[in-house]
């Protein structure tokens, strides 16, 4: 009988090939997570970049304990760079999106702090082996994944072709979106350096120096001190009983976990107008939780009350030793800036208008930026599972709908495949074909539209399992 040792579910198509590249080395869940995350930051252009941030939730099988790690973006302490202009652009993505481009939108990312923690605590393979596939892929070149092509239809011209280095790098795909090959030689060299120097070189070594140099030349604001002072927030978590599932996720300063619980609560109550109910939740988030300062305490208090009443990548991995990881990470919509010193595209997290309530370059005082991410660990009588999704403000509604479907008797695959909908602050509803409450406010999208995220699930009961989402690559793998 074939025994499954480790599984992967992801919204990054090349992550499957990354997992397969180390299959013969008997990897564990941490190994698969690391190589998959790095690979996706190489190949999923526009959707994510090598200057990403994220949230991790995981289950430690040795200690039977759940943990959270917040490695989200942190704003520079001061905006002393040369460029204070708001380089705003419009895209047709998701109907209409406005965001800002340029090096002055860069915030300090935490992805390599997260990966360093996973590697030091749980990985079984050496770092050079884990980075071998993404290094080779960047050097040899690759064709675009479908989610990237779908995003580039809207963003390639306004976001990624204005910058000289980016324009040269993406020339082939600009001419031929389907067949063009992208080669990232400099990024390959940077990752090779990282494979020997370690992930922390991004914060205190040659890589950080090269990034800061480019930021200074192009008007950005992050400094060497901002990189050196970056830190993770560990185990600031909630535990919440939803029907027969025990959910563990991030409490403040991230707002994603709180919103999942609010959506779950709403979906569990009979309502004559579910759209109005969900619209009020959206407005509640905008009016009460999207601010800088002491956001953590308020969100923690709100989660406690609920417990008493009732552009992004997702990677989930599980293994035979009962270790389970769920990580959501993003680089915003992308700044369009390609750092010629490192080959890394810069994030534009300071330029995400909808997540910066104080306005462009507002007085953030080095705050952790606002995140909708909500990777969760699920414990039940049958075992431990992971769940998470990309999708900006649709993350919370997508996860909540899948959890609601699952607890109403659907299998994980059925729960993921069911039609989704999302209600915006203006009351407008976007829904996939088959949504049951269609009215004059409903915009019907394509079936399995990437707008609604990409919910990924892995776990173990009698055996290890994984389920991807057709909306974002449907990547699922076991070995």
Please tell me the pTM assigned to this model. 0.91
Kindly state whether residues 384 and 435 are assigned to the same domain.
yes
Q: What is the dihedral of CA 88, 92, 94, 99, to 10 degrees?
A: -10
Domain assignment of residue 402, given as a range: 234-314+372-470
Q: What is the CATH number of the domain that holds 447?
A: 3.60.20
Domain count, the chain: 2
Instruction: Confirm whether 226 is domain-assigned.
Output: yes
Kindly state whether residues 121 and 217 are assigned to the same domain.
yes
Boundary (domain end) residue, out of 327, 355, 383: 355
Kindly state whether residues 305 and 320 are assigned to the same domain.
no
Can you name the residues that pair with 74 across neighbouring β-strands?
Answer: 108, 368
Query: pLDDT truncated to tens, each residue of the chain (479 aa)?
Result: 347 799 999 999 999 999 999 999 999 999 999 999 999 999 999 989 999 999 999 999 999 999 999 999 999 999 999 999 999 999 887 667 889 999 999 999 999 999 999 999 999 999 999 999 999 999 999 999 988 998 899 999 999 999 999 999 999 999 999 999 999 999 999 999 999 999 999 999 999 999 999 999 999 999 999 999 999 999 999 899 999 999 999 986 677 777 788 878 777 766 556 666 666 666 655 555 444 455 445 444 543 443 333 368 999 999 999 999 999 999 989 999 999 999 999 999 999 887 777 778 877 778 888 778 899 999 999 999 999 999 877 888 899 999 999 999 999 999 999 999 888 767 778 889 998 877 777 889 999 988 898 999 999 988 999 999 999 889 999 99
Kindly state whether residues 385 and 340 are assigned to the same domain.
no
Instruction: Confirm whether 361 is domain-assigned.
Output: no
DSSP string, 273-324: -HHHHHHHHHHHHHHHT--SSSHHHHHHHHHHHHHH---EEEEEEEETTS-E
Kindly state whether residues 53 and 147 are assigned to the same domain.
yes
Instruction: Confirm whether 439 is domain-assigned.
Output: yes
Instruction: Confirm whether 476 is domain-assigned.
Output: no
Q: What is the dihedral of CA 429, 432, 434, 437, to 10 degrees?
A: -10
Instruction: Confirm whether 479 is domain-assigned.
Output: no
Q: What would the two tokens of residue 180 be?
A: 């063009």
Boundary (domain end) residue, out of 324, 355, 386: 355
Q: How far is CA 129 from CA 19, 26, 196, 254, 476, in A?
A: 11, 12, 10, 33, 22
Kindly state whether residues 265 and 185 are assigned to the same domain.
no
Kindly state whether residues 282 and 387 are assigned to the same domain.
yes
Instruction: Confirm whether 19 is domain-assigned.
Output: yes
Instruction: Confirm whether 406 is domain-assigned.
Output: yes
Kindly state whether residues 115 and 27 are assigned to the same domain.
yes
Kindly state whether residues 225 and 297 are assigned to the same domain.
no
Kindly state whether residues 245 and 336 are assigned to the same domain.
no
Kindly state whether residues 323 and 302 are assigned to the same domain.
no
Kindly state whether residues 240 and 380 are assigned to the same domain.
yes
């Amino acid at each position: 009988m074939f025994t499954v040792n480790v599984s992967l579910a992801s919204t990054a198509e090349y992550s499957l090939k990354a997992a397969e590249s180390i299959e013969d080395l008997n990897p564990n869940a941490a190994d698969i997570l690391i190589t998959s995350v790095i690979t996706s930051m190489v190949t999923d252009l526009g959707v994510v970049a090598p200057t990403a941030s994220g949230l991790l939730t995981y289950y430690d099988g040795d200690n039977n304990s759940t943990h959270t790690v917040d490695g989200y973006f942190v704003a520079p302490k001061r905006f002393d760079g040369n460029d204070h202009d708001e380089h705003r652009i419009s895209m047709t993505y998701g109907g209409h999106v406005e965001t800002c481009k340029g090096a002055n939108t860069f915030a300090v990312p935490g992805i390599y702090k997260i990966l360093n923690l996973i590697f030091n605590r749980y990985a079984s393979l050496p770092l050079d082996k884990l980075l071998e596939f993404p290094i080779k892929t960047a050097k040899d070149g690759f064709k675009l994944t479908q989610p990237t092509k779908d995003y580039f239809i809207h963003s390639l011209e306004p976001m990624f072709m204005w910058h000289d280095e980016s324009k040269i790098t993406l020339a082939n795909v600009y001419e031929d979106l389907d067949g063009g090959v992208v080669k990232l030689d400099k990024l390959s060299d940077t990752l090779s350096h990282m494979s020997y120097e370690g992930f922390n070189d991004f914060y205190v070594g040659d890589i950080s120096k090269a990034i800061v140099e480019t930021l200074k030349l192009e008007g950005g604001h992050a400094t060497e001190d901002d990189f050196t002072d970056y830190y993770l927030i560990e185990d600031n978590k909630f535990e919440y009983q939803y029907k027969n599932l025990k959910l563990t996720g991030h409490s403040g300063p991230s707002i994603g976990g709180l919103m999942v619980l609010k959506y779950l609560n709403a979906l569990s109550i009979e309502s004559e107008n579910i759209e109005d109910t969900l619209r009020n939740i959206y407005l509640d988030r905008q009016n009460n939780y999207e601010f800088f300062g002491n956001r953590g305490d308020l969100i923690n208090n709100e989660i406690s009350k609920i417990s008493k009443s009732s552009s992004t990548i997702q990677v989930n991995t599980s293994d035979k030793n009962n270790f389970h990881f769920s990580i959501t990470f993003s680089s915003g919509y992308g700044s369009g800036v390609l750092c010629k010193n490192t080959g890394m595209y810069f994030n534009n997290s300071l330029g995400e208008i909808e997540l910066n309530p104080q306005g462009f370059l507002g007085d953030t005082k080095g705050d952790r930026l606002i995140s909708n991410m909500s990777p969760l660990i699920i414990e039940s009588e049958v075992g431990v599972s992971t769940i998470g999704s990309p999708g900006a403000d649709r993350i919370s509604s997508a996860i909540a709908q899948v959890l609601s479907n699952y607890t109403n008797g659907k299998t994980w695959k059925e729960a993921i495949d069911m039609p989704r909908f999302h209600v915006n602050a203006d009351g407008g509803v976007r829904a996939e074909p088959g949504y049951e409450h269609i009215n004059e406010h409903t915009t019907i999208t394509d079936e399995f539209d990437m707008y609604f995220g990409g919910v990924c699930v892995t776990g173990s009961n009698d055996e290890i399992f994984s389920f991807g989402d057709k909306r974002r690559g449907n990547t699922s793998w076991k070995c």
